[in-house]
Structure 1
Amino acid sequence: MPDNLDLAALCEASGTKFLLALFVDLNGKPCAKLVPVEAVDELATAGVGFAGYAVGAIGQEPKDPDLMAIPDVSSFTPVPFVKEGLAIVHCDPHVEGEPWPFAPRVILKQVVAKAAAAGFAPYAGAEVEYFLLKRDAAGALVPADSADIAAQPCYDARGVTRMYDHLTSISTAMNQLGWGNYANDHEDGNGQFEQNFQYADALTTADRVITLRYLLSVLAQERGMIATFMPKPFADRTGSGLHLHLSLRDTATDTPVFPASGEGDEDPVGLGLSKTAYSFVAGILEHATALQAVIAPTVNSYKRTGAVASSASGATWAPKLPTYGGNDRTQYVRIPDNQRIELRGGDGAANPYLAIAAAVDAGLDGIAGGLSLGEVGTGPETPFPLTLLNAVEAFEADDIVRGTLDVAGPGVADYFANLKKDEFFAYHAAVSDWEHDRYLTAF
């Protein structure tokens, strides 16, 4: 996209008639106003207003001033395959002229700036896993493809072919947007899919995850399906992750930081990374328990990482301990090559802005502290959170991960922790079918 184009010029060049001025709250809910192209100049200069309390989890009360969503022109994304003449522009919420510290995109931008001050530019790739479901005659959720019943459906060519129209429409959309879709596959659960795109700078990748979730939801609904990113929709099937592939570049030389140079004792572990990269991994592992509150932020998340039984396919593919290893998908941090690391603890409920921000910040803390790793397959001897409440308690005790959420202004970390504790206790207060089955006539 040429740097000299403004929002109005981009709309004219792309045939855009309406803009979704979009941002997400702390839970990842996409919020937008539909702005006609006739008002694009006002949008570009002043933004568009929202009653913040009505948005959801974004740190406002009914009495507070409006959130003004200020568009980031570099994120302009035409989506004519959704509606002719429609485009998305990601926005940074402001209040009274200042970036709003509770806005996830604002938080990530602050962490990127913090990394830049340390001489690093963070890059990220994301694996967006999701289920395509429908409701049967009894109202139960089932795979949208009624033939998708195999015990081990992963990579099944027939399952991909049956969903050809959906998968190719999403692939075509991603490629039209220049994202570089390079694979589309059936994942390990019945009805579960993944569609991959090339990595980019941290902010661009987070924007793309939000855009892709929107596209998947809307286009699936048009075909009578439900696209869900719920971490664990079925007890006996694998859950959906949001695996993050992270790397750093040296801002002074614009060269990758992670590969070992081969000089002296530059690769103390033997997996091809530099000492700086290993310290980055060590930082993530050091803060993993607290990090889970951000990258696995729902009650349902811990039915994925804390699964007590294997799925029907024989594996859950979710880490249970904060460990690291080479090309080994059982680890919390996988090191598949010398260019990147894969953080596998996050799930489909993760807010990509917060998840990337917290992971990068934890890694930067490892670099700043010169942390080192133990033997391959090991990690810190800290208990992995069994529930969302355990994760939030670890989050509250961790100054680094708390600090990530407070990076744009104080009070965000406490607000987030209280939000998540309220969620846990609301779940805890609900009476489930499991309790009826176990207790109704037990005494």
Structure 2
Amino acid sequence: MSTPPASGTQSLAALAKADGVRFLLATFTTLTGKPCAKLVPVEAADALEGEGVGFAGYAAGAMGQLPCDPDVMALPDVASYVPLTFVRPGLGMVHCDPHVEGRPYAFAPRVILRTLAEKAAAEGTRLVSGAEVEYFLVQRGADGALTTADRLDDAAQPCYDARGLTRMYDHLTAVSEAMVRLGWGPYASDHEDGNGQFEQNFHHADALTTADRVVTLRYIVQVLAEQRGMTATFMPKPFTDRTGSGLHMHLSLWDGERALFPAGDGSPADRYGMGFSPEAYHFSAGLLAHAPALHALIAPTVNSYKRTGATTTASGATWAPRTASWGGNDRTHFLRVPDPHRVEMRGGDGAANSYLAAAGALGAGLDGVRRRLDPGRPGLGEDGLRLPRTLLDAVHALEGDDIVRGVLDAVDAKAGVSDYYAELKREEFYSWHNTVSPWEIDRYLTAV
């Protein structure tokens, strides 16, 4: 397998042909995280690289377009190319930056993250991130009901269960071997806290690369699960009584190859004993200060708040933060500090668009650095901030936060991306609210 080079050192066609790739998925995501693609034959790879491939943006979904608008042209980032021949013979994928009329498209999540990353780089700062990808393996009956794909996975506390891992060995090792072949450095697969729930990890990288890998990994997981008669879902809370699926993000700042987080042993700058530099404390404070608005990006669905609002689960814990708290190696906080080299932002879930989640974290954290914010004593959030209880609460927080709105508007402040996104999510909430649920029938049918 060839190693993807930096963009421009080798053509997309040459890379694909060297790997025996016959067709390329030219891929981008909508604002809601839907992966969109066209299947491009390798014979057309040069044209793809030079001109891109066109999409009707309105048909794709949440892309800020109407039917009358011009095509969205997806231009590939050759450095993101990966062969997926282990998924389908002859298949490859390349992530694309959508353009409209020759300009980077303001409504494209990958373009938003790239824009913010380039602005940060111009200031000498680089965000490095890692992502914990959690999901459930389920089957759906004719009546629509979900059941655990592994019928024997019914323990009261299934987390880390060796037998549950072994029964899903073929699926989990296929996914892990895929990451090995792609050079991502996978280091663990585990059974998570819910029956049928798993997590698979790979090493950190720059924020854009990690966001690409999350999109690719979700695709790999879902396709390989389908091949084994299962459905892999990243839905935050598919079961009322089980733990939800997070997208925990491990974040650190770098100046070139120099890590900016660790303060060094005994440093007088280490105000709260976390081993942090002032920049690390400021960055953490920014994440805490903007946590409510960030939830519109990192917990972006109605279902997300069934996860964060859960009072208990069958296993006894929810593992989802309710307040913008922070501290040491404590998994109940919004920001956990596993070591002096990083913070783990635990508020995000499986529905998050990985590009918007990283962009939001970068924008919020750097606001803390620029304003030299203080996170306060460990164990407390910024002014005791409570996290949103519903998607509508998160939308209201977003609309009142100029920094997180600015993240969405990073490409073109006049395009109105933040307004469009807020309205999109507000309507999603109202659509759910207007649907009569079994809970309402049970509660109100004969209440009066």
Per-residue Cα deviation, 1:162-194 (whole angstroms, up to 9, x for no partner): 000000000000100000110000000000000
Match among 36, 59, 64 for residue 31 of structure 1: 36
Tell me: CA distance 1:363–1:94, structure 2 relative to 1, closer, same or farther (3 Å): same
1:318-351 CA-partner distances (Å, limit 9, x unpaired): 0010000000000000000011110000000000
Tell me the equivalent position of 1:372.
Answer: 374
**What one-letter code is carried by the residue in structure 2 that aligns with 1:377?**
G
Aligned pair partner of 1:103 in 93, 108, 119: 108
Q: Secondary structure at the match of 1:404?
A: helix
Partners of 1:386 and 1:63 lie apart in 2 by 37
Q: Which TM-score applies when normalising by structure 1? A: 0.98
Alpha-carbon distance between aligned partners in 2 of 1:359 and 1:197, rounded to the nearest angstrom = 20
Q: CA deviation at 1:2?
A: 3.6
1:204-255 deviation line (CA, Å, top 9, x unaligned): 000000000001111101111010000011110000000000011113xx21
> Which of residues 25, 41, 48 is equivalent to 1:43?
48
Q: Structure 1's 137 and 430: CA in aligned 2 closer, same or farther, altered over 3 A?
A: closer
Amino acid at match of 2:329: N
Distance in 1 of aligned mates of 2:111 and 2:60: 16
> Given that residues 5 and 79 in structure 2 are in contact (C-alpha distance below 8 angstroms), is that contact kept between their aligned partners in structure 1?
no
Q: Over aligned residue pairs, what C-alpha RMSD do you find? A: 1.0
Query: How far off is 1:383 after superposition?
Result: 3.1
1:343 aligns with 2:355: no
Find the aligned partners of 1:142 and 1:249 in 2 and give their Cα distance: 44
Amino acid paired to 1:20: L
CA distance in 2, matches of 1:281, 1:427: 34
Unaligned runs of 5+ in 1: none
Q: Does 1:221 align with 2:223?
A: no
8 Å CA contact 2:322–2:386 kept in 1: the answer is no
- Residue equivalent to 1:430: 435
Q: Hey, what does 2:333 align to over in structure 1?
A: 331
Alignment of 1:271-420 (within 5 A): 271-307=274-310, 309-380=311-382, 381-410=384-413, 411-420=416-425
Distance 2:274 2:210 in 1: 26
Letter in 1 for 2:447: A
Q: Which residue of structure 1 lines up, in the alignment, with residue 217 of structure 2?
A: 212
Query: Is 1:268 aligned with 2:247?
Result: no
Whether the 8 Å contact between 2:243 and 2:313 is mirrored in structure 1 is yes
Task: Name which of structure 1's ranges 158-167 and 366-375 shifts more when overlaid on structure 2.
Answer: 366-375
Alignment of 1:64-213 (within 5 A): 64-136=69-141, 138-213=143-218
2:11 is aligned with what amino acid?
Answer: D
In structure 2, stretches of 5+ residues that fail to align are: none
- Corresponding residue SS for 1:336: strand
TM-score (norm 2): 0.97
CA gap 1:136/1:96 in 2 versus in 1, 3 angstroms: closer
- Write the letter of the residue equivalent to 2:304: S
- Structure 2: how far apart are the matches of 1:267 and 1:117? 27
Deviations 1:83-112 (A, max 9, x none): 111000000000010000100000000110
146-155 vs 6-15, greater mean Cα deviation: 6-15
Q: Report sequence identity in percent.
A: 64
Work out the CA distance in 2 between the residues paired with 1:2 and 1:77: 11
Specify whether residues 203 and 236 from structure 1 end up closer, same or farther in structure 2 by C-alpha distance, changes over 3 A only.
same
